[in-house]
Amino acid sequence: MPLSWNEIRDRSVAFARDWKHAESEDADAKSFWDAFFDVFGVPRRRVASFERRVKKVDGRDGYIDLLWKGTLLVEHKSRGKDLERAHQQALDYFPGLKDRDLPRYVLVSDFARFRLYDLEAESDAPPYIEFKLAELPKRIKHFAFIAGYTPQTIREQDPVNIKAAETMGRLHDQLKAAGFVGHPLEVLLVRLLFCLFADDTGIFELQSFREWLETRTAEDGSDLGPRLAELFQVLNTPRDKRLRSLDEQLAAFEYINGRLFEETLPIAAFDAAMRAALLDCCALNWGAISPAIFGALFQSIMDPKARRNLGAHYTSERNILKLIKPLFLDDLWAEFERIKGNRARLLEFHKRLRQLNFLDPACGCGNFLVITYRELRLLELEVLRASVNLKDSRSARLFEANLHQQVSLNVDQFYGIEIEEFPAQIAQVALWLIDHQMNQKVAEEFGLYFARIPLTTSPHIHHANALRLDWNDVLPAERCSYVLGNPPFVGSKLLNDHQRAEMKAVVGHIPNSGTLDYVASWYVIAAQFMQNTSIDCALVSTNSITQGEQPGVLWSWLLGQGLKIRFAHRTFRWSNEARGMAAVHCVIVGFGYRVPERRTIFEYDDIRGEPHAIGAKNINPYLVDAPDVTLPSRQSPICRVPEIGIGNKPIDDGNYLFTSEEKIAFLKHEPQAAPYFRRWLGADEFINGYERWCL
C-alpha cells in the first residue's frame, strides 16, 4: 500500500538531514538512492537496477547509474560536479535502450542538488526543475510518479489514448490469428487492460506487473499463457487463502475481487512476438488513459475497419456534458454554491448525492456513465473541501482519519444495459478505472492514501437487449433518479428484420409507427418506465424525430402520456472532429412528467459551434418555444400544387453507381462513356460532402 503524502514528507525531511554531508559517488551513490526510494516506501531493487550496461552513441559500452525501465534514468556525480554534463551523459545511453525501456524522467544529482527532466512535459514548460537537497521536502511532489501518485491531466484528444488502443489492437490481432477468439479473447483483453492500468496507478505495487512479465516468463512467450492464468487466479484469491508456498512476486499482488478474474479461461498460447506486444503495452503510461473514451477506442480494435480511424469511434466529453449539465449537474452545482457555508445543509446535500441512481439503457462502453460519475466525484470533492474548512483542526484530523467513510459516492449508483457483451464488460471496468482515478484525486487533496481495493462494489451493467428487457429488472423506477444516453441511430428505412420486429413490439400500438426511427423505441419505453415518478430523462437522437412526419407520430403519443420537454439542444453536429468522422446531425431532448420550473432551448448559430441558452415558456416537439402542437401526416397537398412523388431511389443494386475513383478507372477503359455520367446527389452525399456518379 502506498504511503500517505504526510508520511512521505516526514521521511524526506529525515533523508535530507541524513545525507547532507555525502560527497563521493563511488562511496555513497548506491546507498543514497536506496534510501531515496525508501522515502516513498518503494524498495529500489524491486523497480530499478544499478549499473545497467548499454551501448552508447559511439558504440562503446556505458553503464547507467540507475535505470527504472520506462520510467526513470539517474546519472549521479560526486558533489560539485557539472550537472549539465551529467545530463548529456544520460542522454548518450538512450540509443542503447529498447523503445519500451526509454524513461520518461531523467534525474541527475551530485548529492547536494537534484535536477529533474520530464521528457513528456508540455512544450511551454521549463526544460527541468532544479533544487537543493534541503528543499526536497517542499519539492517532494515532483516525484509523485515514484509513490504511485502521479498527477494526471486526462485529455480526451491525448494521443496516448489512440496509441494505447493501437498497441492493444496489435496484441488482439496476434492472439486472434493464433486461434484465440470470441468470448475468451474479449475477457482476456479486459483483464489485461485492468492490469496495465493497475500497474501505473498504485493499485498494484508500481510496475510489478511489468516486472513479473519480464522476470517470470520466458522470452519466447511459451509459458506466458499458463503464467497469466496463475496470476488471474491469485488476483481472485484473498491473501489469507493463498498458498503459503506461492512465488513471492505473485504473492505481492493485491486481491482484486469484483468478479473480474473469477471466470476460468482457456489458456492462450503466446509466442515471442505476442509477449513483446504485451510488454510494449506495459511501456505506455496507462495512468494517463481517459476511461471516458478509451472504452470505445478499445472496442474498436475488434473491428479492423473501425481501427483505421480510431479517433472517430467515441463520443466526445464535450457532447456528453451537453446532456448531463442541464439534466442535473448545473442544478447540483447551483445548490452547492447556495449551501456550502451551512454545515448541516452541506451534510444533507452530500447524503442526497449518494442516493442518486443513473440508468443508461444503451450504455455501450459506458461513456455517459463514466463522465457522469467523474463529474459527481468532482462535486463531492468540493463538498469534502467545504466540510473540512467548516470544522476546527481537531475535527479536520478526525475527518481525515475516517476518509474512507467520508467519500460516499460509488460505482454501484450506475446502471447500464448493453446488447453486446464486450462493451458491457468494458463499461464495468471503465467505471472501476475512473473510480480509482478520482480516489487518487482525493488522496492528492488530503495527503492520505485512498483506494478501494479489493473491489467490493460493482456497477450494474446488464448484458441484455434494452427493447426486450423490463428496465425495472435492472433498476426499479422508484429508485431511479435519471435516465440518460445515446441510443442507436438507425433510420426507419434502414432497419433490419430483427430491429423491425423489436420496434413493432415496443411502438406497434402507436398509429403510423412504421415511420419512426429506431431511437423512438427508447423514448416510448422511457415514458412507460417513468410514469408516476419524478425521474428526468435526456436522450441524444438524430434530429429526424423532431422534423417532418415523425413528431406527429411519436410526440403526439408522448405528450398524450403527460410528458413535458424541459430542455433541448437543437440540431448540432455530433462528432469529435476526427478525420473521416461521418456527420450525424443530432438533437438532445430532456423530458419528464413534472412541470419544469424553467425551460431552456440551446441554439446553434453554427452546427459545429457552441450553443447559447435561451429561456422558453414552452418547448414543443419541433424544439421551438411555441404551444404543443403536432402536424399529422397527409397523403395529399393542402393547396393546388403538384404532388410529391418518391425521390431518387436506385434499384439497380448499385451496379450503375460509381465513386469518383471508380469513374476515373472506368473512363480509362471506356473514354467515350464520359457524356453519360451524371453527378448523383442524395442525402448521404449532401450531408457528408462526397461525390458519387451514375452511369
The pLDDT of residue 46 is 84
Q: Lowest mean pLDDT: which of 363-367, 434-438, 686-690?
A: 686-690
Q: Lowest mean pLDDT: which of 282-286, 370-374, 610-614, 674-678?
A: 282-286
C-beta of residue 295 within 8 angstroms of C-beta of residue 165 = no
pTM of the entire predicted model: 0.82
The neighbour count for residue 514, using CB atoms within 10 Å, is: 15
Q: What is the mean pLDDT of residues 8-28?
A: 93
pLDDT over 80 at 207, yes or no: yes
Best CA proximity match to 588, nearest among 575, 571, 573: 571
Amino acid identity at 647: G
Please, what is the average pLDDT of the chain? Answer: 88
Q: Lowest mean pLDDT: which of 64-78, 145-159, 334-348?
A: 145-159
Q: What CATH number should be reported for the domain whose range is 5-147?
A: 3.90.1570
The pLDDT of residue 152 is 52
Q: What CATH number should be reported for the domain whose range is 487-626?
A: 3.40.50.150
Bond before 454 cis per omega within 30 degrees: yes
The pLDDT of residue 313 is 45
C-beta of residue 519 within 8 angstroms of C-beta of residue 539 = yes
Q: Lowest mean pLDDT: which of 148-157, 450-459, 558-567?
A: 148-157
C-beta of residue 44 within 8 angstroms of C-beta of residue 33 = yes
pLDDT over 80 at 325, yes or no: yes
Amino acid identity at 189: L
Per-domain boundaries in the chain: 5-147, 159-312, 315-486, 487-626, 657-694
Q: What is the mean pLDDT of residues 595-612?
A: 89
**More confident position, 578 or 302:** 302
Helices (H) and strands (E) in the chain, counts: 26, 18
* Helix/strand/coil (H/E/C) assignment for every residue in 526-571: HHHHHCCCCCEEEEEEEHHHHCCCHHHHHHHHHHHHCCEEEEEEEE
Strand order of the β-sheet with 61-68 is 49-55, 61-68, 72-76, 105-109, 113-118, 129-132
C-beta of residue 297 within 8 angstroms of C-beta of residue 165 = yes
Whole-number Å distance between alpha carbons of 411 and 432: 7
Whole-number Å distance between alpha carbons of 295 and 385: 31
pLDDT over 90 at 530, yes or no: yes
pLDDT over 70 at 227, yes or no: yes
Contacts of 559-564 with C-beta under 8 Å, sequence gap 24+, read 559/621, 559/628, 559/630, 561/527, 561/531, 561/593, 562/593, 563/527, 563/591, 563/592, 563/593, 564/591, 564/592, 564/593, 564/594, 564/595, 564/596
Cell 494517463 belongs to: 288
Cell 549539465 belongs to: 84
